[in-house]
Structure 1
Amino acid sequence: MTQKAWYLYILECAGGRLYTGITVDVEARYKAHACGRGAKFTRSYPPSRILLVQTYPDRSQASKAEHAVKKLSPNDKRKLIRD
């Protein structure tokens, strides 16, 4: 059985805030966030666009990457997006 790829994504939200998450379907997850069915954070600060998507072979690696990105400052996250 082929494993589905997992994705780390960063959204730009209201007020220029950034939201980081993981999923197997970025577009569906973005729509959920935009409709208020995503995370509590994105219900308060609706997303305006997807800034970054990175692919990982499994949930474990995507989760580790998410944890590392969430430790970054907003400026460092923006540098990651630019690179």
Structure 2
Amino acid sequence: METNNHFFYVVKCKDNSWYAGYTNDLHKRVKTHNDGKGAKYTKVRRPVELIFAESFSTKREAMQAEYYFKKLTRKKKELYIEEKRNSKEAVYVKAPNEL
């Protein structure tokens, strides 16, 4: 699953909000969020569930994807994920009815 070491990821929080971030270890980062040691935003919205991840060859590319994504509206974020699913660019995507 982890072909490169840099990921842009999105987790779904308990309140159905989404949190986007960067990591070089997906499994460890999701666990950190769920242990309450991740971002302040997710600390009070646990548990979180990974719904999307995209792999990049550099940290810069992954962080640029995160920056771009965070500027989108919720609807456009949903479209972004759907487009990546259809193009097979994502390394992990939840089923559309589970987003």
Pairwise same-fold verdict (TM > 0.5): yes
- Greater RCO, CA 8 A, separation 6+: 1
Structure 1 portions without partners, runs of 5+: none
User: Contact between 1:10 and 1:19, CA under 8 Å: does it hold in 2?
Assistant: yes
User: Contact between 1:13 and 1:47, CA under 8 Å: does it hold in 2?
Assistant: yes
Identity of aligned residues (%): 29
RMSD across aligned C-alpha pairs, in angstroms? 1.2
Question: Hey, what's the Cα distance between the residues in 2 that align with 1:81 and 1:61?
Answer: 17
Q: Which residue of structure 1 lines up, in the alignment, with residue 95 of structure 2?
A: none
**TM-score of the pair, normalised by structure 2:** 0.75
Question: Hey, what's the Cα distance between the residues in 2 that align with 1:48 and 1:39?
Answer: 11
Superposed, 1:7-22 pairs within 5 Å as 7-22=7-22
Dislocated runs of 4+, deviation >3 Å: none
Structure 2 portions without partners, runs of 5+: 84-99
**TM-score of the pair, normalised by structure 1:** 0.88
Q: Which residue of structure 1 lines up, in the alignment, with residue 28 of structure 2?
A: 28
Normalized per residue, which structure has more strand? 1
1:16 maps to a residue whose letter is: N
